[in-house]
Copies of this chain bind each other. A is one copy, B any other.
Amino acid sequence: MTVTIKDVAKAAGVAVGTVSRVLAKNKTVSEEIRIRVEEVIRELGYTPNSLGRNLRLNKTDLIGLVIPDITNPFFAELAKHVEMLASAEGYSVLLANSHDDPAAEQQQVQTLLGRLPSGLILVPVSESRIGDLVSGRNTVTVDRPLKGQTLVGVDNRRGGYLAADYLLSLGHRRLGYMGGPQMLDVARERYEGFLSRIQAFQQRHPGQSLAVQTVDGNFDYKAGEELGNRLLRQEHPPTAIATASDQQAIGLMRAAADVGLSIPDDLSIVGFDDIPLASLVLPRLTTIRQPLAEIARIALDAILNRPSATTECKLEPVLVERSSTRAWSAR
């Protein structure tokens, strides 16, 4: 039998209201009684039943988190930060994977909303049709936008721009770009940012030769390897490649090794995200860092403080220089 607030009250010789006040850290409780109640609570191993509390208050301390795939290190990192911050505030997180499938996403969101969470943190899939479902439901989207919802993420155009800028400054003139799924805004924005820097260069240096090849596909390791092979197995492969994710970059490293290219001597690589693994691969990966801890903090803040306005928060990405990139001089 589980122990309820009533049992505590009886054991401590007080009324349930008093116990409730102790739990709520209400100051209008005498020191003496507070101590006694707290002692009894510990003795009986009492845990407040959140169902009762939630029903009474008509709200839960649950945060829904819907992401494409928890095994993606980027989302795992996001989930970790969200969970840490949430539990520090007394909230628990309901995790659901959408597997980048609109139908699955709709199902997951619907189920989670039925559990009356205080808020929903969402990384929407493309072609998401959940706009109606979440409208007016205290939702924040992260990483990817959803019409009418607050978005917290990084300035992806700026990130793509930084990658191109860096590779150009290193002297590379045969560039490759490995994009994410072009149906995703994030993927397109990163690519556009990359291109915009390229075009600016071409306008300033009309004479110089500058070649850019582009491929795109999923964000994961496997896509990185496959797309890498497409990019590298040709007559004049790029001397530097920027990718739309670190996972792609790591897959690309694999492909480069299979082709016999050494990094960074024959090929420079710039990733995107700065997942934990980026600083451990061989060689350590230069990448565009997303301030994920801050993204999580802002997202949760928006959820818990319920800011009425639908805003858009674009954080600044940062280039992290490591060992997968190197200056290039014409050979």
Residues of A participating in the B interface, judged by any CB pair closer than 8 Å: 45, 47-52, 54-55, 58, 60, 62, 65, 69-71, 73, 76-77, 79-80, 83-84, 87, 90, 92-97, 107-108, 110-116, 132-133, 221-222, 225, 250-251, 253-254, 257, 276-277, 280-282
Q: Which 7 A-B pairs have the closest CB atoms?
A: A95-B95, A47-B114, A51-B55, A71-B76, A221-B280, A76-B76, A50-B114
Q: List 19 A-B contacts (CB under 8 A).
A: A45-B133, A47-B110, A47-B114, A50-B114, A50-B115, A51-B116, A52-B55, A62-B115, A65-B95, A70-B76, A80-B97, A83-B96, A83-B97, A87-B96, A87-B111, A221-B277, A250-B280, A254-B281, A277-B277
Give the residues in chain B near A132, CB-CB below 8 Å: 45
Give the residues in chain B near A257, CB-CB below 8 Å: 282
> A51-B115, A92-B115, A222-B280 known; 14 other A-B pairs, CB under 8 Å?
A48-B114, A51-B58, A51-B60, A62-B115, A70-B80, A79-B95, A83-B96, A87-B107, A92-B95, A92-B96, A92-B111, A92-B112, A94-B94, A250-B280
State in angstroms the CA–CA spacing of A152 and B14 once bound together: 44
The smallest beta-carbon distance between A232 and chain B, in angstroms, is 15
Whether the Cβ atoms of A71 and B282 lie closer than 8 Å is no
Give the residues in chain B near A221, CB-CB below 8 Å: 276-277, 280
State in angstroms the CA–CA spacing of A94 and B86 once bound together: 12
Give the residues in chain B near A111, CB-CB below 8 Å: 87, 90, 92
Main secondary structure of the interface of A (DSSP, over half): helix
Query: Which of A47, A71, A77, A79 lies at the interface centre, i.e. has the most chain B CB atoms within 10 A of its CB?
Result: A71
State in angstroms the CA–CA spacing of A277 and B225 once bound together: 12
Identical copies in the complex: 2
The smallest beta-carbon distance between A97 and chain B, in angstroms, is 6
Give the residues in chain B near A50, CB-CB below 8 Å: 114-116
Whether the Cβ atoms of B114 and A97 lie closer than 8 Å is no
The smallest beta-carbon distance between A164 and chain B, in angstroms, is 26
Give the residues in chain B near A114, CB-CB below 8 Å: 47-50
State in angstroms the CA–CA spacing of A301 and B269 once bound together: 45
Whether the Cβ atoms of A84 and B97 lie closer than 8 Å is yes
The smallest beta-carbon distance between A58 and chain B, in angstroms, is 8
State in angstroms the CA–CA spacing of A79 and B49 once bound together: 25
Give the residues in chain B near A250, CB-CB below 8 Å: 277, 280
Partner of A71, one of B49, B65, B77, B92: B77
Known contacts A50-B114, A93-B94, A221-B276; is-contact A69 B80 (Cβ 8 Å): yes
Residue of B nearest to A110 (CB): B47
Partner of A251, one of B51, B76, B280: B280
The smallest beta-carbon distance between A175 and chain B, in angstroms, is 23
Partner of A70, one of B79, B108, B276: B79
Give the residues in chain B near A92, CB-CB below 8 Å: 94-96, 111-112, 115
Residue of B nearest to A253 (CB): B282
